[in-house]
């Protein structure tokens, strides 16, 4: 007796699209409200977190769901491709899943610092200099793990024929920009400016890439295995 086994791929595809929607929504709430950019003056940081604690709370409340969805997405890619990767003796999808999990952990630190800034600005603004520097460092270095996820899942999808060459190339280009931004973290933290756009461009490509990957998983052809 045979049964279809594509249901988890569909769950992961929906999770990937949901993850993209949540991170876009979170930024759409915080950015127009004036969330300071990397390298912002501490006065601007104190002003934002001292007066926009509600905005910080709302945008932060969305992120735990995003981390769950990102993990489901990565795990579904591993499940969908593990047979073909095993036959080739490869594990690129596991590399990608590791990147997603590491970016979840790193960004949890970013969100925790934002919440701490919102809770402490009125009491001790001097402590915020160190907190904001740590925030900027984690935020920019997170590009390393996004790049790892993009490279692993793009190569895995390309090797298995799940994603098209142009889709894989989009992922690798995004990974290059994000990794370049992470490598330039000390410069971006002190000078910001045009260099910070590297990470932004890579992030926008990452969002589009994961939505397209989610659609591919939803349409993933069912495998057939002995029940």
pLDDT in tens, 13-35: 999 999 999 999 999 999 999 99
Per-residue pLDDT, 144 = 97
The stretches of the chain forming alpha helices (DSSP H) are 7-30, 42-51, 53-61, 63-88, 92-120, 127-141, 143-160, 165-183, 185-191, 196-218
Nearest Cα to Cα of residue 95 among 143, 147, 49, 52: 147
**Counted domains in the chain:** 1
pTM of the model: 0.90
More confident residue, 118 or 73: 73
Calculate mean pLDDT across residues 6-18: 91
The model's pLDDT over 54-110, given as tens digits with 9 standing for 90+, comes to: 999 999 999 999 999 999 999 999 999 988 898 888 999 999 999 999 999 999 999
Is the confidence at residue 222, as pLDDT, over 80? Answer: no
Tens of pLDDT, residues 121-168: 555 667 888 899 999 999 999 999 999 999 999 999 999 999 999 999
Paired strand residues for 224:
4
Residues 212/174, Cβ–Cβ less than 8 Å:
no
What is the extent of the structural domain holding 167? 2-226
Cβ-contact 156, 201 below 8 angstroms: no
pLDDT tier, 46 (very low <50, low <70, confident <90, very high otherwise)? confident
pLDDT, residue 42, reads 86
């Amino acid at each position: 007796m045979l049964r279809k086994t594509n249901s988890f791929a569909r769950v992961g595809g929906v999770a990937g699209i949901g993850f993209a929607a949540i991170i876009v929504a979170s930024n759409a709430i915080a950015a127009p409200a004036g969330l300071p950019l990397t390298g912002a003056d501490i006065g601007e940081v104190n002003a934002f977190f001292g007066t926009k604690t509600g905005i910080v709370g709302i945008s932060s409340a969305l992120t735990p769901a995003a981390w769950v969805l990102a993990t489901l997405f990565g795990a579904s890619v591993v499940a969908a491709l593990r047979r073909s990767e095993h036959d080739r003796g490869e594990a690129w999808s596991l590399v990608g899943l590791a990147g997603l999990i590491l970016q979840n952990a790193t960004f949890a630190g970013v969100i925790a610092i934002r919440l701490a800034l919102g809770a402490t600005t009125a009491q001790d603004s001097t402590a915020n200099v160190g907190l904001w520097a740590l925030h900027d460092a984690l935020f920019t270095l997170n590009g390393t793990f996004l790049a790892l996820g993009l490279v692993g899942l793009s190569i895995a999808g390309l090797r298995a024929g799940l994603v098209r060459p142009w889709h894989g190339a989009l992922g690798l280009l995004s990974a290059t920009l994000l990794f370049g931004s992470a490598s330039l973290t000390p410069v971006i933290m002190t000078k910001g400016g045009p260099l910070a756009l590297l990470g932004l461009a890579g992030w926008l490509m990452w969002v589009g890439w994961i939505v397209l990957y989610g659609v591919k998983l939803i349409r993933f052809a069912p495998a057939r295995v002995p029940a």
